[in-house]
C-alpha cells in the first residue's frame, strides 16, 4: 500500500468516527431534553395538585369562618338583649 491510500483510509475512518459521535451526541441531547420535559410535566402536575388542595382548604376555612361569624353574631345579639 502506498502512503496516499493509507492517508485516505485514515481520513475516511476519522470522518466516520466523527459522524457517528456527532449523531450519538445528538441522540443524547434529545434524550436529555425528553427527560427534562418529563420532569417538568411531573412538576407541573404536582403544582396543579397542590393548588387544588390549597383551594379546597381555602373553601373549608371560608365555611368555618362564616360559621364563626354567624355564631359571633348570635352571641352579640344575646349579649345586647341581656343588657
In tens digits, what is the pLDDT along the chain, a chain of 83 residues? 678 888 888 888 898 888 888 888 888 788 778 888 888 889 999 999 999 999 999 999 999 999 999 999 999 999 998 87
DSSP structural state of residue 1 = -
Task: Give the per-residue pLDDT at 1.
Answer: 61
Task: Give the per-residue pLDDT at 72.
Answer: 96
CA distances for 18 relative to 25, 53, 59, angstroms: 10, 52, 61
Q: Is the pTM of this model over 0.85?
A: no
What is the rounded CA–CA span in Å between residue 39 and residue 5? 51
Amino acid at each position: 500500500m502506498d502512503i496516499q491510500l493509507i492517508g485516505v483510509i485514515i481520513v475516511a475512518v476519522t470522518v466516520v468516527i466523527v459522524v457517528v459521535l456527532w449523531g450519538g451526541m445528538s441522540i443524547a441531547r434529545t434524550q436529555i431534553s425528553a427527560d427534562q420535559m418529563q420532569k417538568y410535566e411531573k412538576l407541573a402536575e404536582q403544582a396543579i395538585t397542590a393548588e387544588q388542595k390549597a383551594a379546597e382548604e381555602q373553601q373549608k376555612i371560608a365555611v368555618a369562618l362564616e360559621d364563626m361569624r354567624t355564631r359571633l353574631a348570635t352571641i352579640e345579639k344575646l349579649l345586647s338583649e341581656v343588657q
